């Protein structure tokens, strides 16, 4: 079987775009660029995986529970929903995709999808047939970065790439770009 390219779309959820509870500056524009990218490039991927924060209201990352973040992406809430234009683009192109959740355990932070045991098993199953992994979405300096760095440990033979135009950061993206480049991640 030929090795494939995997697309990992990290947390494209309403709470992370402008107007959301933990809005990432430029998040909506990055996701809109991703929608257009998907329409033209979906056939290039052997697998498309979307990750989502899926927090219980008692999650440890929330300020109300001693964490550093406002309440966001609470299970079954509007803010936890995937940005609808992404789903529309995937449906319109008839692209096959899988959704994996993280941050479901109230006392465990999971910026990275690879920190979630069930999800990691799904991704490990793809390891032998994955030549390259493209990462994108929100937020670059937390969940995207951590997923890339952890993914390099699991998908050891796959080249890691960041789709810069389809990603937005909470802080200065240049700081994260530097970290990624130091870890042999290609910025495309």
pLDDT tens-digit profile of 57-78?
999 999 999 999 999 999 999 9
Contact status, residue 145 vs residue 176, Cβ threshold 8 Å: yes
Is the peptide bond prior to 8 cis by the omega test (within 30 degrees of 0)? no
Q: Is the dihedral of CA 66, 72, 76, 77 positive or negative?
A: positive
Segment 77-88, tens digit of pLDDT: 999 999 999 999
CA quadruple 124, 102, 51, 82: dihedral, nearest 10: 160
Which domains occur in the chain, in start order?
4-187 (3.40.50.850)
Q: Give pTM, 2 decimals.
A: 0.96
Return the structure tokens found at 29: 């524009």
**Residue 1: pLDDT band with limits 50, 70, 90:** very low
Mean pLDDT of the chain: 96
Give the C-alpha separation, 96 to 126, whole Å. Answer: 15
Closest CA to 43 of 88, 81, 7, 14: 7
**Residue 3: pLDDT band with limits 50, 70, 90:** confident
Return the structure tokens found at 157: 């033979």
Return the structure tokens found at 187: 């910025």
CA distances from 124 to 43, 119, 156, 157 (A): 22, 9, 10, 12
Known catalytic residues? 11, 102, 143
Segment 132-177, tens digit of pLDDT: 999 999 999 999 999 999 999 999 999 999 999 999 999 999 999 9
């Amino acid at each position: 079987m030929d090795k494939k390219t995997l697309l990992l779309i990290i947390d494209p959820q309403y709470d992370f775009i402008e107007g959301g509870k933990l809005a990432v500056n430029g998040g909506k524009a990055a996701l809109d660029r991703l929608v257009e990218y998907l329409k033209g490039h979906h056939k290039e991927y052997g697998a498309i995986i979307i990750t989502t924060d899926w927090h219980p209201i008692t999650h440890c990352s929330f300020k109300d529970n001693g964490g550093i973040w406002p309440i966001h992406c609470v299970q079954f809430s509007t803010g936890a929903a995937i940005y609808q234009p992404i789903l529309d683009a995937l449906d319109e192109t008839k692209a096959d995709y899988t959704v994996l959740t993280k941050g479901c355990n109230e006392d465990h932070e999971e910026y990275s999808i690879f920190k979630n045991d069930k999800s990691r098993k799904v991704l490990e199953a793809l390891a032998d047939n994955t030549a390259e992994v493209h990462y994108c979405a929100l937020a670059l300096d937390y969940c995207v970065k951590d997923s890339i760095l952890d993914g390099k440990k699991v998908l050891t033979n796959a080249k890691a790439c960041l789709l810069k135009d389809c990603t937005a950061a909470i802080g200065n993206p240049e700081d994260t770009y530097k970290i990624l480049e130091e870890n042999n991640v290609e910025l495309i």
